[in-house]
């Protein structure tokens, strides 16, 4: 298959995406509309300028800025509906979408009303063939007390479709030990545990996420590059990695991990991880803020040397790593494999 053929096949394949932030998916034109709703005049160029960063902290600042225009349940419904339509266009049939619960709480919002609007948006998406489950996320730099408060809300809202408690933001801001009470609480309530680790931090942050917080998947995980023994251990244990190449490039995380400026996507360790046996899944993280989408990330994988058969395994990993009951996961995988066969990928 040539590049165009593989792109067409990947586009037609039913896909899952597991690492995707709702608030990082707001297209520039929608930011302009949201800002106008709240009396702020912006141009698409203003937003594009805000969506460029020189480092990870610049990215966190931009994230803070864009979420400042999310003030009502209607705002959340708008961005969720738009995100889901874009996923459906790409043949994504299952998504785990992260909501920045910690940010809603910090802004003193009506979390319950916001989530009800999101839950309804997910119901609309389900009618169009996209199943959505939610991850309720705290920001590490907001501290242990806020993480615990966010964890309590995750548990309270869980019956509406929240399946996991997550942790994003500056992973070096707070030790894993300080986050244990929050994870102990959500785990006891039956929620899954997810952690961003090894995005900007080293292998020790990844190890602690698993050992101390019970992380079932690792968000990013680039830091394991510096610890081959840990890589082999995690490959053996089958712990999935949610890898987001364009994100790592655009936030400067890739440069930081490689210890040099100006590394391009060709230096990304996605293929290295895959070849080493890690369970790698592919995601966009914050697609609008990084100018990418899921098809774009698969094009990156193809450019990094994944063969068609390897692309099939990569895409299957997102279903096998989904936070779903085993029977449902197997049903998705069977549907995926049947279509992959029809498209000539197997």
- Nearer Cβ to Zn ion (73/269): 269
Closest distance between Zn ion and the C-beta of residue 56, in Å? 11
The window from 42-50, 203-211, 223-231, 277-285 that contacts Zn ion (CB under 5 A) reads 277-285
Closest distance between Zn ion and the C-beta of residue 168, in Å? 5
* 312 forms part of the interface with Zn ion (CB under 5 A): no
| C-alpha triplet 210, 214, 216: angle, nearest 5° | 80
- Nearer Cβ to Zn ion (285/293): 285
Q: Is 228 exposed, middle or buried (0-12, 13-18, 19+ CB in 10 A)?
A: exposed
Closest distance between Zn ion and the C-beta of residue 346, in Å? 31
- Nearer Cβ to Zn ion (73/198): 198
- Nearer Cβ to Zn ion (254/343): 254
Residues 194-233 that bind Zn ion (CB under 5 A): none
Complete DSSP assignment for 129-161 = T-EEEEEEEEEGGG-HHHHHHHHHHHHHHGGGT
* 23 forms part of the interface with Zn ion (CB under 5 A): no
Q: Is the dihedral of CA 39, 44, 46, 51 positive or negative?
A: positive
Q: How far is the C-alpha of 186 from the C-alpha of 195, rounded, in Å?
A: 13
Sheet hosting strand 131-139, strand order edge to edge: 15-21, 92-99, 131-139, 162-168, 192-197, 217-220, 241-243, 280-282
Task: Say which residue the tokens 């959505």 belong to.
Answer: 132
The window from 59-67, 76-84, 150-158, 278-286 that contacts Zn ion (CB under 5 A) reads 278-286
Closest distance between Zn ion and the C-beta of residue 166, in Å? 8
* 285 forms part of the interface with Zn ion (CB under 5 A): yes
In the residue annotation, 199 being an active-site residue is answered as yes
Marked catalytic residue, from 96, 149, 199, 208? 199
Return the bridge partners of 167, or none: 138
Q: How far is the C-alpha of 225 from the C-alpha of 2, rounded, in Å?
A: 31
Return the bridge partners of 218, or none: 195, 241
- Nearer Cβ to Zn ion (31/135): 135
- Nearer Cβ to Zn ion (111/139): 139
Task: Say which residue the tokens 């990013």 belong to.
Answer: 220
Closest distance between Zn ion and the C-beta of residue 246, in Å? 12
Closest distance between Zn ion and the C-beta of residue 242, in Å? 8
The window from 80-88, 142-150, 221-229, 279-287 that contacts Zn ion (CB under 5 A) reads 279-287
For residues 19 and 280, is the Cβ–Cβ distance under 8 A?
Answer: no
- Nearer Cβ to Zn ion (32/196): 196
Task: Say which residue the tokens 């840990």 belong to.
Answer: 230
Give the count of alpha carbons within 13 A of 260, CB side only: 6
Task: Say which residue the tokens 């933001």 belong to.
Answer: 169
- Interface characters, 40-79, with Zn ion (x: CB under 5 A): ----------------------------------------
Task: Say which residue the tokens 């989530």 belong to.
Answer: 115
Interface size with Zn ion, residues (CB under 5 A): 1
Closest distance between Zn ion and the C-beta of residue 62, in Å? 14
Q: What's CA 82's distance to the chain center, in Å?
A: 17
Instruction: Report the residue number whose CB is nearest to Zn ion.
Output: 285
The set of catalytic residues is 199
Q: Which residues bind Zn ion (CB under 5 A)?
A: 285
């Amino acid at each position: 298959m040539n590049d165009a053929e593989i792109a067409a096949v990947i586009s037609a394949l039913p896909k899952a995406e597991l690492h995707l932030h709702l608030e990082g998916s707001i297209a520039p034109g929608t930011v302009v509309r949201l800002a106008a709703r709240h009396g702020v005049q912006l141009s698409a160029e203003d937003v594009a300028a805000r969506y460029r960063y020189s480092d990870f902290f610049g990215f966190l600042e931009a994230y803070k800025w864009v979420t400042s225009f999310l003030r009502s349940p209607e705002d959340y419904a708008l961005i969720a509906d738009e995100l889901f339509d874009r996923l459906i266009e790409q043949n994504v049939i299952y998504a785990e979408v992260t909501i920045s619960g910690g940010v809603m709480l910090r802004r003193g919002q009506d979390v319950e009303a916001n989530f009800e609007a999101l839950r309804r948006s997910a119901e609309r998406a389900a009618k169009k063939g996209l199943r959505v489950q939610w991850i309720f996320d705290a920001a590490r730099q907001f501290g242990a007390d806020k993480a615990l408060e966010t964890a309590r809300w995750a548990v309270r809202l869980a019956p509406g479709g929240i399946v996991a408690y997550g942790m994003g933001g500056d992973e070096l801001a707070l030790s894993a030990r300080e986050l244990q009470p929050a994870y102990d609480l959500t785990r006891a309530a039956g929620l899954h545990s997810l952690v961003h680790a090894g995005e900007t931090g080293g292998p020790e942050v990844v190890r602690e996420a698993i050992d101390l917080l019970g992380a079932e998947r690792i968000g990013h995980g680039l830091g394991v590059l510096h610890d081959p023994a840990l890589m082999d251990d995690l490959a053996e244990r089958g712990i999935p990695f949610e890898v987001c190449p364009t994100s790592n490039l655009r936030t400067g995380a890739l440069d930081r991990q490689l210890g040099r400026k100006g590394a391009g996507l060709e230096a990304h360790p996605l293929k290295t991880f895959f070849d080493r046996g890690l369970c790698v899944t592919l995601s966009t993280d914050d697609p609008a803020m990084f100018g990418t989408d899921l098809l774009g990330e698969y094009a990156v994988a193809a450019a990094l040397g994944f063969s068609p058969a390897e692309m099939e395994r990569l895409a299957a990993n997102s279903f096998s790593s989904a936070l779903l009951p085993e029977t449902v996961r197997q049903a998705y995988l069977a549907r995926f494999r049947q279509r992959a066969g029809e498209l000539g990928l197997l």
